[in-house]
Structure formats: structure tokens, C-alpha cells
Structure 1
Amino acid sequence: MMNAMDIESIRIHQLGPDDWQRLRRIRLLALAEAPYAFGSTLSWAQTRTDQNWRDLLALRTQFLATADDHDLGTVGAIAEDNAAHLISMWVTPEARGTGVADLLVRSVIDWATAKNYPDIHLEVSAGNATAERLYHRHGFRRTGVTGTISPEDPRLEFEMRLTLSTNP
């Protein structure tokens, strides 16, 4: 397991169009390890074609945390209604508690700030206190908006939002 001293070796990469295989690999790992955290399923993701994965990466900004050529976590961001939407956050079990998640959230905040989005929103499934604490540390707050994860998944989720500073 990594320790806090290893945080210096962690690098955050923004995946490019040709990195779809890396996205597929880490997304399948995430869905297998933490199916409760996502609206999609491993079985559905396994049916995606190579072109589907390429298209997915073309539609989002995706960050990957690595250390010593090991993928440690990922997070995505999309533009949605003139705001940024943080999606698909996941960190490998062995990298949890090391600061990797904080670096990934910070990468989305920096991306959204550079794109001049006024805020970032995300959804957290009810009961995922660890994720809520992570986002809260970065200034996200519950908005009061709740819903189900999807029509096929009736679990409750709630929205959190971070208002970004605007430059005068």
C-alpha cells in the first residue's frame, strides 16, 4: 500500500483521444470493484465496442492518476448547461487515503476554472459518506436536489455543487 510519503510520485494525466484503452481498462476495474458507486454496470461496459470507448473519450475530459506506471484512479468532467459536471470518480483500494482522490478532484476544479465555468456539480449516492467528505473538503455542498441513480437503479443520490470564483 502507498503511504503519504509517496504523494510526490503521483502524476495526473489528461487522457487524449488515443488513450481509450487506458480509459476502458480503469473503467472496467472501477465497475468491478465498486459497482455501488456508479450508475452504469460492468456487464454493460463490457459490451462497448472499441469505437464506443473512443467516442466516450471524445465527449469528456478524463484524468488518470498514476505512479510508477500504475493506474491509481480516474475522474471525468463534461460540460453541461454552462457548468462543469464531475463524473466517474474512482480510486483503487490500495491508493485510497493517500491523497490521490484529492489530486483528481483538484484536476477537475483546475480544468473547470480554466474553462471559466461558474460552478461544478456532481452526484453522490446516498450512504457514500467517504465520497461526500472528499467533495466537502474541496468546497462542494449539497444543493437539496435528489433523485434516483437511473430508471433501472432506484438508489437515491444527491447533488453537490461548488461555485467557482469568478475573475473580476
Structure 2
Amino acid sequence: MTERLWRKRSAPECAMPFIEYQMTSDTNPSPEIRSPQTGVLLIAHGSRRKEANDDLVRLAELITRRQEYGVVQESYLELAPPTIVDGGRICVERGATRVLMLPYFLSAGVHVVLDLEDARKQLAAEFPNVQFELCPHLGLNPLMADIVLACLEEGNSKSTTV
């Protein structure tokens, strides 16, 4: 597997919920979409604060720019539109025949274990010719340690300069 090299594109404060990274030029995505009929449905909890929900919108934009999938759509479990089911419908309306449902959650709580599977079943019943797959939540992905360490480094560098 080719190792991807990342560099920080901006230096946001650690307290900010969204850290944006950009791939270095030697790992740019291919110019054509690899899976045009595969959609990605990003699923977050949702918040009453629009700014909190905007993080997932920005993530969807970043993934879209990578040109790996034909459809990338954000959705929310509650408190903000579109709902998971509505997001799945949008993916199908935009041409997806397979939808990868990615829980943007750190822990496998009730939402990840039960609620998201219920939404997947509802979409599968509504669209029997479309494949809906629930992906693993972010959890303890090994890359999570890199993100945490980067935030700690940023926080440490700020405290030593004050």
C-alpha cells in the first residue's frame, strides 16, 4: 500500500473541530472519478449550531475534490437537515447505485450500533436495486493517533510561545 504524505494546509486552533489537510503533489488523485456510481453518505450526529454542522459540509467538499466517488453527501442523525434517509435519497437521485454510509462518530454508542442500521434498512427497503453499506465508524483508526498528536503539538507550541 502506498503511503500518503500529508501536510497541513492551514494552522487552525486545536479547539476548532475541523482540521483541513491537503495531499502533497505526489499523491494527487486521478483526474477521473474512480467509482462514479458509488455514493458516500457522511453521517454525523447533527447540532443546533449551524457552524458545527458546517464541518461535515466542508469535509464532504474535501472528499468530493479528491474525485474518488461520484456522489458525496452529508447527512445528520438528528437536529439538522438532511436526515440520513433524506441524504441517502439524494445519493440515489444523483445516480448512485451503491452508497457507502460512513458514520462520522468516534465511539460505537447506541446511534452507531442501532440507529444507523435502522436507517440503512429503511433505505434498502425503499430502494431495493441500490446497495447501502454501513461502514465502520471512525473509532480507533490508527490515523486518529496522528490527528490527536498534531493537535497536541499545536497546543504545546502555542503554550510555549505565550
Q: Is the TM-score greater than 0.5? A: no
Q: Which has the larger radius of gyration?
A: 2
Normalising by structure 2, we get a TM-score of 0.33
| Higher share of residues assigned strand | 1
